[in-house]
Amino acid sequence: MALNNSTPLIKICNRCVPYMNDDLEEYHCDADFGPFATKCTRCVSGKHACVATDQALVPFLNDAVRARAALARNLRDDDAPDAGLLRAARVAADTFTTKLKVFDRNRNKLAGDRASPRKAGTSGAPAGRNTDVSTLEMQSLRRGVLALVEVGKIAVGLAGATPARLARVDALLGQDGPAAALSESEGEEPGEEEEEWGGLME
């Protein structure tokens, strides 16, 4: 006869599962998971959520219940428990407890059906690598903007702007201006660039 492992043989909350081996003759979970659900005494005193055994764990729960029932029948007929039945009951309860811990650990890693997001740097590419990429992107963008400003200055110069007006553009842009960028990369003085522009305008 096939065993039915789809329906739990007893009702027990997850908080009470680790205490099953404390008393192999009696269950100490008095929770009610029906329409008028009430917490068990242990969950009430500890202010925990009182959650019934998940469906995936029902086979392990039923194995523990059957092993305990066999031990209980043995104890009714004999004062000394059978060593094999006692060991089987303890192993079944320990297995159920272990499976519950693994199940809870895996469930805590999930949000719905998708893995919970992890903080940058805990896995995969190091956090510093992302920072370096962002810095390079910003530098490339800055160079592009400076190039456009320089082209604009040339166009304005060809249209008849004086070097003094072009110098005012550099002064307005300050540290982010193309003149400052050229000075940093080539070591030129701002006055040298003005002389060059003066030569172009003559």
Sequential DSSP letters for 58-124: HHHHHHHHHHHHHHHHHHHH-SSPPHHHHHHHHHHHHHHHHHHHHHHHHHHTEETTEEPP--TTSSS
- Cα–Cα dist 79/59, whole Å: 30
pLDDT of residue 173: 57
Q: Which pLDDT does position 37 carry in this prediction?
A: 87
d(CA 140, CA 181) in angstroms, rounded, equals: 13
* pLDDT (tens place) for every residue of the chain, 202 residues total: 457 778 899 889 999 998 888 877 677 889 998 888 899 999 999 999 999 989 999 999 999 999 999 988 888 877 788 899 999 999 999 999 999 999 988 877 764 444 444 555 555 555 555 555 567 777 777 777 777 777 666 666 656 666 676 676 666 655 555 555 555 555 545 555 455 545 545 5
pLDDT of residue 166: 63
Positive or negative: CA dihedral 175, 176, 177, 181: positive
